[in-house]
């Protein structure tokens, strides 16, 4: 049976109908049942510090026992309607220095605390909503989007009693609460609530490994390393290769008697599903020019994925470079920030050119900010409040929480927090993803919801 092509927008060699056809073709051969996959839990970086056993992951929930035929996957793809909104999470790994991204050049203490690292007034565009702040010159692309009303900035986001460990603080952001125990990401819980049993693309990490932010308890999610397709190589060709993949998929669906074996089975089953789904996806073209960088290439691929209707709900990607700038901060930060911001601007222009910009919102975050006083290594140590941004045509474009100033720091000489990341999550859930935050974010009732989305 050949399924009816649905209303696909064809802009590359790959179309939604092809996608459906390939899945149906395999299903028509009567492929064996496939174990419903389950991803790894969140916070596994934390598990090391808590000395949980490695490898198999002791805290794994029970392995899904339901067996769903492969044809269900086709249904999963078809059911994800084009109008679904997509949230893209971009992570500045290491704790980006918010006082460089939005430099408080108008604060008299800035130059005192940062004798070497302070940005000179006039070096970048003034931040319109608070003229004491100034965009880093490398964030000019972000400043452009802000000028168009497409960026909501959080100049001092965080939480009370900030933890200055990368891993703990990142974990809090990933799971959406201040606990070390929970193992599902806040977006993973959202996917568990609304996601499909057989659509791993609904939560997609573009970084090779799964972001703990989208770690679910039940629903399948996926990670890919390259947007250029997902081919498995071998010296086996037609017609034997189809039988080979069938056996590989069977490795994924046999019973497992240990967590380690479950993990391999799950990976085999999901890998084979993704192979069927993404083979050939890689040939795409973009209507706008992107900067020449790996990060931009990923975003270009993501825009093409959205255009052909791959059923994604939540996508995560890491910003290029590392932001744990204990030493020689200026150069590293500038290069990486520029690459990130220019990539995002091109992505936004691409979505606008394709008429998709109203469907995509970007959330950009980091685990903390850095200490206002620079250290002796031309760098900065771990701090408390940091910055976050919500970007897109539908972003409200209004600053959330004021810049607290450098005059009154907290007890550890760090920047005070003026907005809570959990409030941002609640707003994104309710205003963008149309889902009740109470069911996802513990203690949601206690957080103010900033307006993040244009109505």
- Other beta carbons within 10 angstroms of residue 23's beta carbon come to 24
Residues 233 and 347: their CA atoms lie apart, in Å, by 31
Q: Which is nearer to another protein, 44 or 393 (CB)?
A: 44
Closest to another protein by CB, 167 vs 435, is 167
For residue 15, the minimal CB distance to another protein (Å) is 20
Smallest gap from Cβ 130 to another protein, in A, equals 30
Question: Based on C-alpha coordinates, what's the Rg of the chain?
Answer: 23
CB of 322 to another protein, least distance (A): 7
Q: By the 8 A CB rule, do 285 and 11 touch? A: yes
* CA-based nearest residue to 34, from 64, 57, 79: 64
Nearest to another protein of 10, 236 (CB atom): 236
Tell me if residue 333 falls in helix, strand or coil: helix
In the complex, least distance from residue 50 CB atom to another protein, rounded to whole angstroms: 7
Provide the minimum distance between the beta carbon of 305 and another protein in the complex, in angstroms, as a whole number. 15
Instruction: State which residue, 316 or 393, has the beta carbon closest to another protein.
Output: 316
Nearer to another protein, 230 or 447 (CB): 230
| CA angle, residues 384, 387, 393, in degrees to nearest 5 | 160
State the minimum distance, in angstroms, from the CB of residue 297 to another protein: 6
Closest CA to 187 of 401, 453, 432, 451: 432
Nearest residue (CB) to another protein, 4 versus 237: 237
Please, what is the minimum distance in Å from the beta carbon of residue 373 to another protein?
9
CB 59 within 8 A of CB 41: yes
CB-CB contact of 35 with 67 (8 Å): yes
In the complex, minimum distance from the CB of residue 259 to another protein, in angstroms, rounded to a whole number: 7
Question: Percent helix, strand, coil in the chain (nearest 5)?
Answer: 35, 10, 50
| Tokens 């568990």 sit on residue | 192
Residue 28 or 128 with smaller CB distance to another protein: 28
Cβ partners under 8 Å of residue 360, min gap 6: 85, 86, 87, 88, 306, 351, 392
Contact (Cβ atoms closer than 8 angstroms) between residue 333 and residue 348: no
Distance in Å from the first CA to the final CA of the chain: 43
Give me the half-sphere count of Cα atoms (radius 13 Å) on the Cβ side of residue 321.
19
Of 111 and 140, which CB lies nearer to another protein in the complex structure? 111
* Closest distance of CB 237 from another protein, Å: 6
Beta-strand ranges (E) seen in 14-93 are 34-35, 67-68, 86-92
Of 191 and 222, nearer to another protein (C-beta) is 222
Which contiguous run of DSSP H or E holds residue 312? none
Whole-number Å distance between alpha carbons of 315 and 317? 7
């Amino acid at each position: 049976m050949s399924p009816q092509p649905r209303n696909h927008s064809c802009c590359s060699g790959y179309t939604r109908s092809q996608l459906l056809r390939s899945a149906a073709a395999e299903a028509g051969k009567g492929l064996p049942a496939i174990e419903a996959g389950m991803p790894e839990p969140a916070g596994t970086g934390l598990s090391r510090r808590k000395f949980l056993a490695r490898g198999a992951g002791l805290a794994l929930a029970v392995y899904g026992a339901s067996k769903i035929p492969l044809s269900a996957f086709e249904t999963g793809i078809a059911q994800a309607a084009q109008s679904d909104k997509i949230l893209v999470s971009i992570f500045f790994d290491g704790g980006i220095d918010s006082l460089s991204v939005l430099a408080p050049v108008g604060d008299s203490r800035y130059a005192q605390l940062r004798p070497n690292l302070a940005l000179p007034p006039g070096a970048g565009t003034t931040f319109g909503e608070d003229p004491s702040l100034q965009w880093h010159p490398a964030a000019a692309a972000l400043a452009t989007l802000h000028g168009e009303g497409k960026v909501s900035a959080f100049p001092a986001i965080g939480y009370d009693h900030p933890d200055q460990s990368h891993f703990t603080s990142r974990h809090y952001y990933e799971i959406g609460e201040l606990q070390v125990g929970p193992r599902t990401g806040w977006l993973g819980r959202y996917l568990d609530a609304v996601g499909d049993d057989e659509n791993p693309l609904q939560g997609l990490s573009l970084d090779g490994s799964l972001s703990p932010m989208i770690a679910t308890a039940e629903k399948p999610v996926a990670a890919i390393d390259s947007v250029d397709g997902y081919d498995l190589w071998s010296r086996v060709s037609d017609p034997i290769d189809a039988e080979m993949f069938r056996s590989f998929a069977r490795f994924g669906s046999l019973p497992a008697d240990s967590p380690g074996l479950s993990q391999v089975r799950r990976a085999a089953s999901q890998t084979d599903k993704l192979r069927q789904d993404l083979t050939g996806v890689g040939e795409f073209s973009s209507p706008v020019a992107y900067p020449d960088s790996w990060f931009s290439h990923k975003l270009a691929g993501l825009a093409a994925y959205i255009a052909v209707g791959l059923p994604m709900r939540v996508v995560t990607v890491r910003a290029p470079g590392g932001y744990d700038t204990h030493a020689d901060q200026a150069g590293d930060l500038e290069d990486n920030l520029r690459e990130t911001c220019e990539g995002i601007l091109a992505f936004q222009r691409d979505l606008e050119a394709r008429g998709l910009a109203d469907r995509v919102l970007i959330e950009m975050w980091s685990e903390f900010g850095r200490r206002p006083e620079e250290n002796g290594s031309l760098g900065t140590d771990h701090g408390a409040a940091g910055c976050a941004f919500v970007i897109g045509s539908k972003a409200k474009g209004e600053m959330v929480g004021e810049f607290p100033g450098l005059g009154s720091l907290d007890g550890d000489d760090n920047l005070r927090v003026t907005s809570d990341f959990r409030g941002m999550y609640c707003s994104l859930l309710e205003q963008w993803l149309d889902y009740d935050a109470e069911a996802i974010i513990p203690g949601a009732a206690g957080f103010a919801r900033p307006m993040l989305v244009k109505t």
